[in-house]
Amino acid sequence: VLKVTSIHSRAQRDIAEKEAKLLSRLSHPSIVKMYNACYRTASQQQSGKRGKDQSNTGKERPQHLILMEYCEGGHALDVCNKLASQGQRFDLSTLIIAFGQICNAVSYLHAQRPPIVHRDLKPVNFLVKNGAYKLCDFGSAVFGHVDLRTPKARSDAEDVVQKTTTQMFRAPEMIDLFVTKKLTQSTDVWALGCCLYSLAFLQNCFEEGSNLAILSRKYTIPDDNPYGDGLVELIDRMLAVDYKARADMTEV
C-alpha cells in the first residue's frame, strides 16, 4: 500500500522523512514493513495526469511516498466497531494475543538505544494482516527522552504534543508539562492502557477533550466486564498518573 503525504511545509517534510528513516531501520513481525520511500514532484504529478486531465490547477505540491506492506484486515478500530455492531466482544484468548502482539512491537521499540517512543498508540494504528496485529504510523515517534527543564523546552514540547499526538491517549504528563522534568517511554505505556481498555470494552477510556479526567485518572470499568480482575489490575497499573509508578513494558 502507498502512503502519500502532500508536503505543505518544512515541518511536514521533516515528519515524513523521519518516519521513512525510522521504518527503514526497524524489523519486527508486529511492525508494518516499509519497502521504499521517495518524493514525487509537482511536475511528475502533472505528467501522470496526461491523457486523463489536461488541466493544471497550479496547486500540486511535492508528495512524499512510502510503500508499505498491505494489511487487508483494516485496523483494530474497524474490528472493534464490527464486534460492537454485532453485540459481541473479543474472547479473552483473542484479546490477549492481539494486545500481546502490539506490546511486543512497543517493547522492541523501547529496547532500542536510544529508546524509540511511538507517542501515537491508538487502535487505528494497529493494522490487521491475516489475523495478526501490526503497529504503523511512526510520524509522531521520538528518540529517547524529551527534556522539559526550561520554559522554552516545555513550550516546544507542548507544541509538538498538540500537533502530533491524539488527546484521548495522552498521558497526564503530556497534558500538564510541569509535573515532570522529562517525557519518557512511559507515555506509551499509558496509551497502551487506554488501547487495552478500548479493545476490551469497545469504547474509549477517555473521551475527546477530557483533560481533567485524564489528570485525575477518572474512568470506569463496565459492570458487565467478562474478563475478570486480572485485566482490570493491568489497566490500573498502566494508567498510574505518576509515570514513575506506572508499569513498564517488561511488567506489561
Cell numbers found for residue 31: 511492525
Active site includes 120? yes
Q: Cα separation of 63 and 120, whole Å?
A: 23
* 242: amino acid identity, one letter: D
Q: What are phi and psi of 125, to 5 degrees?
A: -100, 10
Q: State the angle between helix axes of 92-110 and 186-201 in degrees (0 to 180), rounded to the nearest 10.
A: 160
110's CB contacts (< 8 A; 6+ apart) are: 116, 117, 185, 188, 249
Q: What are phi and psi of 132, to 5 degrees?
A: -100, 150
Q: Cα separation of 108 and 78, whole Å?
A: 25
Q: Cα separation of 26 and 32, whole Å?
A: 9
Cell numbers found for residue 184: 519518557
3-state secondary structure at position 159? helix
Considering the candidates 14, 53, 91, 120, report the single residue annotated as catalytic. Answer: 120
- Please say whether the beta carbons of 77 and 127 come within 8 A: no
Report, as residue numbers or ranges, the catalytic residues. Answer: 120
